[in-house]
Structure 1
Amino acid sequence: MGQWQGIELEGLVLHSGRLTLRPWQPTDAVTVQAILADRRISEYLPLPWPYTASDAHSFVTGPGQDGRVAGTRLDCAIAENTTGRLVGSASLRLPSGPWDVAEIGYWLATADWGNGYATEATRTLARFGLDNGLTRIEIRCEVPNAASAAVALRAGFRYETVRRALLPGRDGPTDGAVFVRTAADPDAPVEPAWPPLPELSDGVVALRAAGPQDWPVLLAEANNDAALQWGFSAEPMTEATARQRANWVGLGRLVNPHNALLLICDAASGAGAGTLGLRRSGPPGVVALGYGVVPEFRGRGFTTRALRLLADWAFSQTPTARLELGCKVGNVASARSAEAASFRPEGRRAGRLRNPDGSYSDELIFGLTRPADTPAADPAG
């Protein structure tokens, strides 16, 4: 009989507010196959493809039960309390030695994404483990998998590091973000580094969070003649670098309090038109901005519209008190965009921005402060 800490695992069932975490049953195979036939679920899971009925049967009668029998894993089917409907999977790998790692993993049917089931199941397993002697539990996810990282934070896990070649990705070993919850941590969600950004639009321009699929926009924005002229380096961005940066932006918004990246889009087509970067590097409540638009969208006021959208949201929905930006002397287009978005020129700093040839240009400074009639948002954001 499979036991851990004197607890019999084979028939163990855990309950939460909306969910039952129970042992897998052979009859679950049909639903498992239907859920995992959706390619979106296996994007960050090393599953066979296509996922067949045979694969599902092998899982629920084999690996889905073996850990409970051996006392090494608590693998659970996630089902709704009210309907009994199977919605996903959650597992707690139990340490077999003093230096082994306890780890939680999960997947959820796409129809149930966004309703908090993964977070609720994860919190339930974490409480079980920590209440029964575990001192540390990890959640690991591929760096681009921002949705899984967000679940970890909401379940009270704190970001710790990124380890190279940690996980068995679809195309080979891949870097993994590590989130940790210890017995000493409070049983409360961890706030993300940046507040969630809904898609903003004025009907012409849309502003949204950037993601791994947006690397071609990052590449195009960095490598055109104007970007190279006004940038800090003469070195063009490589495709590998663009892909790496795009893979990191979702995780960065959650765990990096210093930088975040948004995408400027054409509202009509959804096409990426440029980037808008946010940086916290000064006093609390101050956010610095940097931006660039790809050549085919220049001259249409996209930068100005994006700055207005960002300012309206930041001042009404976050505790931001001041936005600021700068550009090199001579970058007339950038200065005009800032002023058209109501940023006021505030001065000039000598020899501050590096040129591609190693010399330095003066920087023109622009600022925009919270309107007097706009109350500050809750600092928790």
Structure 2
Amino acid sequence: MLSEKSAETVRATLPAVGAAVGDIAELFYTKLFAAHPELLRDLFNRGNQAAGVQKQALAGSIAAFAGHLLAHPGTRPDAMLSRIAHKHASLGVTREQYPVVHKHLFEAIAEILGDAVTPEVAEAWDEVYWLMANALCAIEERLYAEQQVAAGDVWRPWQVTARIEETADCTTFHLAPADGSPVPAAKPGQYVSVQVELPDGARQIRQYSLTGAPGSPTRAITVKRIRGAAAAGPDGEVSNHLHDRVTVGDVLRVSPPYGDLVLQDSDAPVLLASAGIGCTPMLSMLEHLAESGRTAPVIVLHADRSPADHALRSDHRALALKLTDATARFWYEAGAEPGDAEGRMDLADVEVAPGTTAYLCGPLPFMRAVREQLLAKGVPAADIHYEVFGPDMWLASA
């Protein structure tokens, strides 16, 4: 809980901090990487840094956390904290790194805001930071304990046992523990972090959803090659490395499974809506539903550029057909086949049963559009869950 004195100061200064938080984040990362270049080389996503999206996500999360403390005293934005903590745990972030972030963040705040940062203002925002940091540390340490690993010690060697070219841009890698260790338990919808050593010596990390059954003795990830564009950022360093250099027999460093977009065990109807490579966590959920003999209604929806671009298309449809009460509908911008629809996903004639729990994964504009349609159909906001690949920009751009 934010103290009453700090709450007053934060409320008075939040507009100024919020207006400058983008500049603060920019300077913060400049200072952080100048002092600790190994963090950019081996922890932070260099592609996201180059595109600026990580800075926007940091700005959004800090402003959202402070705003929540003011609007809902005595509570925490647990959904946001959980999503960040799962990502941090998959990267091996530890409690010892938070003072490093604090030092450079508050130097940036003081430099950007100048004389406006009085001792009282600094003390209030210091309290906000440590409330957020300590909450994240507690969640992260619990996540490490659940996976029976020491804090930050997440990396294990996994060998590529098969490689399947799904589409021109998507490849599935089947993995098994290279050291013979047990496969850690996974929940349907979770992801793993994969760390690769690039030609320049950097060890970059990316997250990929597990596509196989959660109880499988092996793991499978489907990786989309990220092709850069001037407006969208550079080529994906790790995705291109995996596509171009990794083959059967190679060993990757892989984390235990994390992620809070997890299929809930209940008898409620389920709706799974995805676009592009966002289908991957849905495949894991469908595998679980099929294995558990799900009888409640399941609606499977997917949008893509074309059938040829739809990774795991046959598996996507086949798993839906295994269920006793499921419908699958696919939308394609071009090349739609009989039974499929053309254009963007439109839920106008999709019947959504009362009590449905929805799971969304795909580009942010897609998820926003689908969420609005589900809300209009009476699905409560609390029953609509989502996953963002990369920094979570939902809060930052809300």
Q: TM-score, normalised by structure 1?
A: 0.26
Q: Identify which of structures 1 and 2 has the higher relative contact order when contacts are C-alpha pairs closer than 8 Å and 6+ apart.
A: 2
- Higher share in strand: 1
Q: TM-score, normalised by structure 2?
A: 0.25
